[in-house]
Chains A and B, each alone.
Chain A
């Protein structure tokens, strides 16, 4: 906290902030998939302008306050140094700014008709949760595993303790204020090359952890992967597993637009976003987090964020209209509930972890020690790192080596080969290549989706229609 800025004598009246979980479900029911940016600026005035622009966008939106990396690792001194030197941060330093300042940012923004979530990425989120509650916010995201393993070197057991305390703090706030909401980040992990079943399992396990510590309004995440088929299986599995393991929780699904190496061209970026939007609409996904044309190179501007939100909403809107024109029942394209490979693997992983201890935190810590959970390519000291994955010719992510994962009998491990730098970069850039348009013929991944022909016109930006630097600069 700066402590130096005086509190306004008369704090501006804040409208009653909405309950994030109910807000999203209600919006989804009446309008369709809610779209949300990953937006964060260090300057409070810019942050406020970004939230207002999100609210005013021609789309059903939710607002985001993304926290900067220094705050994520608890280095508030570096935040102060950057702000003094006028260096822009990659997010909003919520624990640095006085709560009064954040409340001003939110005045007239958060209202019955607009909910805001804080997105961070911290294995020690107590101060962030304290700050967001003090500012009148009640929704955030993360998890003891997903905000530890991919986010640095905090020991897993320590992250679990930190998240237990933070969950309790958040849950407690609901006794006097708005019902708090927490989203798992487990459906993303390192963003790429993680088999979808492991993403689904971690997402559900984190939701169980949240519930154990008193939260009853939860969203479960899944990040779009290269294969449409795997994506549809994963979202269906997530719904089925939540239905089974979280009967007393109000939950919804949130899809993240592709979290790996992003296309560099505007066309490629929008096609990939459209793919995510169609996936969301066709799987009844309640909320979609978008990516912008600047994703591959730098922090996006407010205008680029708004363009992405409006485009994604146009795609989901078009999809819904096309469906009613085709006179299809609402759930016609919704994935079925069969025992897909993704579902079977995720179920086995969840059950194996739950058997380790009644306490989810202890179970998760032991699961990583035993290698029952093991994230491919993750360098964290508490990750065994014995599993390997690869992209097959259709863009599906497969296991090359299951290490000690309890998947014997359901997964055939192929021979794990040593991968070189060029091959790794090739796999990481597969989606970029496909969507930037120079993919090897026949390897179109999910880009070959027939719906692509019916997409609304893309925002004008390659031709300089949007401010900001040239894409991929």
Chain B
């Protein structure tokens, strides 16, 4: 496998059912501007492909973005699988976007955090600022 193992690499993906792409392109540019190389897996990535990519790249962070309204269900299924994978139990993983079909919903965020996400960013004016702060805090933490 020839994946470049830069310890700062951030992996970006849209979950299996979500085809939206502009969000992923935007997040890629944003994360790169914050000083991290990225691997953008694109939209509609099946769960197993995300897990495999995490094992291959050993990223500093996995960023999931979903806006089609299924992010809540897709996110819980995916994080359960990631946390059950021995090598990925402690991988920082965040999710953001429009996570349900009825507008901003704090319940979804709580469920997702309980299921194992390190941070959840439902659509809000502060989401991106909060996320940038999270990224900055990553570099301060010791790289494991």
Hey, which bits of chain A sit against chain B, CB under 8 A? 68-70, 72-73, 75, 78, 81-82, 85, 87-90, 121, 150-153, 190-192, 261, 294, 297-299, 377-380, 419-421, 424-425, 428, 469, 473
Contact = CB atoms under 8 A, between A and B. Distances in A.
Contact of A379 (B18, B21, B69, B101): B21
Interface residues of B, number: 31
Contacts of B77: 78
B73 A82 contact: yes
Given A69-B68, A73-B44, A90-B70, A150 B29 contact: no
Contacts of A379: 21, 24-25, 40, 42-43
Label chain A's interface by main secondary structure: loop
Interface string B55-77: 00000000000001110111001
A49 to B, nearest CB: 17
Interface in B9-30: 16-19, 21-22, 24-26, 29-30
Nearest to B123: A297
B29 to A, nearest CB: 4
Of A69, A90, A121, A299, chain B has the most CB atoms within 10 Å of the CB of A69
- B contact face: mostly helix, strand, loop, or mixed: loop
B91 interface: no
B70 A70 contact: yes
Given A298-B69, A420-B29, A88 B102 contact: yes
B22 A377 contact: yes
Contact of A89 (B16, B40, B43, B70): B70
B21 A473 contact: no
B33 interface: yes
12 contacts: A68-B70, A69-B68, A72-B17, A73-B44, A85-B73, A152-B44, A153-B43, A153-B45, A298-B101, A379-B42, A380-B42, A428-B22
B36 interface: no
A466 B37 CA distance: 46
A24 B41 CA distance: 41
Contacts of B30: 421
